């Protein structure tokens, strides 16, 4: 079973929830798909012995064959090519590696060469995996797709998504079995939760909500979920103890059996909802 | 000579647009006579690569100078290859910028701002 943890708003506790869940379950794999800033290993402390480059294909032009006709520029849907004074300029980091320019070129002047855009690091058993996008690279998708190919070896795959509701998140969650939406009781938390709900509904994925930093004085999330008939799967309290340990890189499940049990229960709840 | 100015509107009395790649309009003016034409910047709403596409447009319009606010790194590469001289315009109308340009009062720029600078 593949469970994706996402949030809409950043900083609500995706990593706390996903890493805690993976830590509490036997035979689970934690995959950090927040490839612009993976942070799960601050808590799970896996020894990253395996490294694998993420490569994309980018076009290069053979100037001897190129006539400067501009067909490649016309074909490019991503504005990654300019043709100036019959000379082709290619912008690698905007290129989506679709290959249209190569097909469009009437003289066969374009070939594709691999370029590294990121890296996948994992421990030897692959129970921990994360992707890291190279600095200055704007496209996260190739790294996420490569991570996705390496999932599924374990009973429970717990996916830590990037925040937001962009194509990065879509490509992270689109083939998972269940989505856990983590939020916090703030106006921003509620606002972005609604966006995340719209996203998972459009993708027709089953989902439930985890309220992190829950407090009696603000039940806006619980009220909203009740109105909308949305499952609140779990609440993690607003607690100085959790925050203090978190700042030292310790998850609640790593010092408290109570929380470990809560996360095991969370999985049971999810299984019940999806059966 | 033909110069391109990024504009917030379709009239030369409209304000200069500070964004280059995502400017809504380009005004292409002839400094010899006072003729000008307005073109829609097709790149303005593109998901990515707006500066590259906009740079290509300016070159295709055969302008030799550009007056705008800020130019990003990709657009800078395109415009430089097309030998377009880039000038930083003032926050006044397109018309007023053209006359500042003619009086050689605009500063020429050759350094790009960061990617997506105008989107922040």
Residue of chain B with shortest Cα separation from A74: B53
Q: What's domain A2-49+124-274's superfamily in CATH? A: P-loop containing nucleotide triphosphate hydrolases (3.40.50.300)
Predicted confidence (pLDDT) at residue B112 exceeds the cutoff of 90: no
% of residues, chain A, pLDDT over 70: 100
Among B18, B52, B14, CA closest to B36: B14
The arithmetic mean of pLDDT across residues A86-96, rounded, is: 94
Confidence of residue B117 (pLDDT cuts 50, 70, 90): confident
The third-level CATH classification (topology) of the domain covering B2-119 is: Nucleotidyltransferase; domain 5 (3.30.420)
Torsion angle of alpha carbons B108, B110, B115, B120, nearest 10°? -20
Find chain A residues with C-beta within 8 A of B53's C-beta.
Answer: 79, 82
- What tokens does A215 get? 């407090």
Residue appearing with tokens 């800033």: A37
List pLDDT tens digits, range A52-77: 999 999 999 999 999 999 999 999 99
Q: Does the beta carbon of B52 lie under 8 angstroms from any beta carbon of chain A?
A: yes
Cα torsion A125, A131, A135, A136: sign: positive
List pLDDT tens digits, range A166-181: 999 999 999 999 999 9
The arithmetic mean of pLDDT across residues A122-129, rounded, is: 95
**Confidence (pLDDT) at B120:** 67
Residue appearing with tokens 């290859």: B81
3-state secondary structure of A36: coil
**Confidence (pLDDT) at A53:** 98
Predicted confidence (pLDDT) at residue A132 exceeds the cutoff of 80: yes
Given a contact cutoff of 8 angstroms between Cβ atoms, the answer to whether A251 and A43 are in contact is yes
Predicted confidence (pLDDT) at residue B67 exceeds the cutoff of 90: yes
CA distances from A122 to A53, A132, A194 (A): 12, 11, 33
Predicted confidence (pLDDT) at residue A153 exceeds the cutoff of 90: no
The arithmetic mean of pLDDT across residues A89-114, rounded, is: 96
Residue appearing with tokens 């053209």: B98
Collect all residues from A whose CB is shorter than 8 A from any CB in B. 73, 78-85, 87, 89, 91, 94, 138
% of residues, chain B, pLDDT over 70: 98
Q: Where are the domains of chain B?
A: 2-119
Instruction: Report the DSSP pairing between strands B36-40 and B65-68.
Output: unpaired
Distance from CA of B92 to the nearest CA of A (A): 30
Among A124, A179, A115, CA closest to A142: A115
% of residues, chain A, pLDDT over 90: 95
Q: Where are the domains of chain A?
A: 2-49+124-274, 57-116
Distance from CA of B30 to the nearest CA of A (A): 22
Predicted confidence (pLDDT) at residue A41 exceeds the cutoff of 90: yes
Q: What is the ipTM of this complex?
A: 0.85
Among A58, A68, A78, CA closest to A106: A68
Number of other residues whose CB lies within 10 A of the CB of residue A248: 9
**Confidence (pLDDT) at B68:** 97
CATH 3.30.700.30 assigned to A57-116 = no
List pLDDT tens digits, range B84-111: 999 999 999 999 999 999 999 999 998 8
Distance from CA of A198 to the nearest CA of B (A): 21
**Confidence (pLDDT) at A154:** 80
**Confidence (pLDDT) at A152:** 74
**Confidence (pLDDT) at B69:** 95
Residue appearing with tokens 């927040």: A34
- What tokens does B51 get? 């500066």
DSSP assignment of A134-168: PTT----HHHHHHHHHT--SSSEEEEEPPSBSSHH
- Inter-chain Cβ pairs, chain A and chain B, closer than 8 A: 43
The arithmetic mean of pLDDT across residues A223-233, rounded, is: 97
**Confidence (pLDDT) at A270:** 96
Average pLDDT, chain A: 96
């Amino acid at each position: 079973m593949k469970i994706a943890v996402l949030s809409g708003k950043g900083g609500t506790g995706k990593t706390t929830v996903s890493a805690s869940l993976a830590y509490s379950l036997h035979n689970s794999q934690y995959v950090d798909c927040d490839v612009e800033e993976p942070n799960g290993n601050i808590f799970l402390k896996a020894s990253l012995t395996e490294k694998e480059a993420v490569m994309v294909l980018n076009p290069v032009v053979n100037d001897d064959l190129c006539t400067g006709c501009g067909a490649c520029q016309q074909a490019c849907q991503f504005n990654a090519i300019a043709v100036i004074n019959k000379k082709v300029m290619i912008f690698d980091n905007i290129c989506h590696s679709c290959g249209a320019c190569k097909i469009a070129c009437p003289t066969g002047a374009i070939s594709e060469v691999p370029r590294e855009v990121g890296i996948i690091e994992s421990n030897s058993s692959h129970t921990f995996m994360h992707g890291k996008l190279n600095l200055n690279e704007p496209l996260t998708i190739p790294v996420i797709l490569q991570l996705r190919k390496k999932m599924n070896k374990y009973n429970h795959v717990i996916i830590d998504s990037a925040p937001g509701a962009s194509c990065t998140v879509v490509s992270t969650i689109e083939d998972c079995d269940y989505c856990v939406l983590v939020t916090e009781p703030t106006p921003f938390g509620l606002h972005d939760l609604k966006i995340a709900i719209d996203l998972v509904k459009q993708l027709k994925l089953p989902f439930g909500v985890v309220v992190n930093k829950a407090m009696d004085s603000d039940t806006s999330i619980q009220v909203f979920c009740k109105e909308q008939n949305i499952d609140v799967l779990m609440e993690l309290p607003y607690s100085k103890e959790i925050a203090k340990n978190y700042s030292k890189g310790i998850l609640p499940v790593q010092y408290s059996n109570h929380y470990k049990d809560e996360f095991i229960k969370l999985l049971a709840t999810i299984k019940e909802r999806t059966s | 000579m033909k110069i391109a100015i990024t504009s917030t509107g379709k009239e030369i009395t409209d304000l200069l647009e500070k964004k280059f790649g995502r400017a809504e309009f380009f005004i292409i003016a002839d400094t010899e006579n006072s003729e000008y034409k307005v073109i829609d910047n097709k790149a303005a709403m593109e998901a990515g690569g707006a500066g590259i596409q906009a740079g290509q447009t300016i070159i295709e319009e055969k302008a030799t100078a550009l007056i705008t606010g800020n130019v990003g790194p990709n657009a800078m590469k395109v415009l430089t290859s097309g030998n377009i001289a880039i000038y930083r315009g003032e926050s006044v109308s397109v018309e007023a910028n053209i006359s500042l340009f003619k009086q050689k009062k605009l500063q020429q720029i050759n350094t790009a701002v960061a990617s997506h600078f105008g989107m922040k």
